[in-house]
Amino acid sequence: MGEKVVAGGFELSDRHEYRRKLQQCLAGLGRLLDEQRFDRPKNLMGLEIELNLVGSDGLPRMMNAEVLERIASQDFQTELGMFNLEVNIVPHRLSGRVLDQLAEELRTGLAYAHRKADEVGAGIVMIGILPTLAQDDLVSANLSDVRRYTMLNEQIVTARGEAFELDIDGVEHLTCTSASIAPEAACTSVQLHLQVTPGRFADVWNAAQAVAAIQIAVGANSPFLFGKELWRESRPPLFQQATDTRPPELQAQGVRPRTWFGERWVSSAYELFEENLRYFPALLPICDDEEDPLRVIDEGGVPGLQELVLHNGTVYRWNRPVYSVADGVPHLRVENRVLPAGPTVTDVIANAAFYYGLVRALSEESRPVWTRLPFATAAENFDTACRQGIEATVQWPRPGRSGGIAEVPVVTLVRDELLPLAAAGLDAWGIEPADRDLYLGVIEERCRRRVNGASWQADTFHRALDAGLGRDSAFAATTRRYSELMHLGEPVHTWPVGFPGQGR
Sequence length of the chain is: 504
Tell me the three state secondary structure of residue 169: strand
Q: What is the pLDDT of residue 8?
A: 47
pLDDT tens figures, 418-433: 999 999 999 999 999 9
pLDDT tens figures, 65-77: 999 999 999 999 9
Q: What is the pLDDT of residue 399?
A: 84
How confident is the model over 264-281, as a mean pLDDT? 97
* E strands, 94-241, in order: 123-125, 164-169, 173-178, 190-196, 224-225, 228-229
Q: What is the pLDDT of residue 5?
A: 40
Percentage, residues of the chain above pLDDT 70: 98
Q: What is the pLDDT of residue 290?
A: 84
Is 1 a residue whose pLDDT tops 80? no
0.85 exceeded by pTM:
yes
Residue 208 to residues 22, 262, 303, 328, 361, Cα–Cα distance (Å):
27, 12, 28, 28, 11
State which amino acid sits at residue 286: I
Is 6 a residue whose pLDDT tops 60? no
DSSP 257: P
Is 475 a residue whose pLDDT tops 50? yes
How confident is the model over 441-466, as a mean pLDDT? 98
Residue 258 to residues 205, 317, 365, 405, 491, Cα–Cα distance (Å):
18, 8, 31, 30, 34
Q: Which residue has the higher pLDDT, 402 or 439?
A: 439
Q: How far is CA 171 from the centre of its chain?
A: 23
* CA-CA-CA-CA torsion sign (259, 263, 268, 270): negative
How far is the C-alpha of 222 from the C-alpha of 188, rounded, in Å? Answer: 9
Long-range contacts from 156-161, C-beta under 8 angstroms, 24+ separation: 156/181, 156/243, 156/245, 156/283, 157/181, 159/245, 159/281, 159/283, 160/244, 160/245, 160/246, 160/247, 161/247
Q: What is the pLDDT of residue 15?
A: 85
How far is the C-alpha of 330 from the C-alpha of 364, rounded, in Å? Answer: 24
Question: Beta strands 316-317 and 259-260: pairing type?
Answer: parallel
Helices then strands, each counted (H, E), the chain: 18, 15
Is 2 a residue whose pLDDT tops 50? no
Task: Report CA Rg, the chain.
Answer: 22
How far is the C-alpha of 175 from the C-alpha of 168, rounded, in Å? Answer: 7
State the average pLDDT for the chain. Answer: 95
HEC assignment per residue over 220-248 = CCECEECCEECCCECHHHHHHHHCCCCCH
pLDDT tens figures, 180-219: 999 999 999 999 999 999 999 999 999 999 999 999 999 9
pLDDT tens figures, 348-368: 999 999 999 999 999 999 999
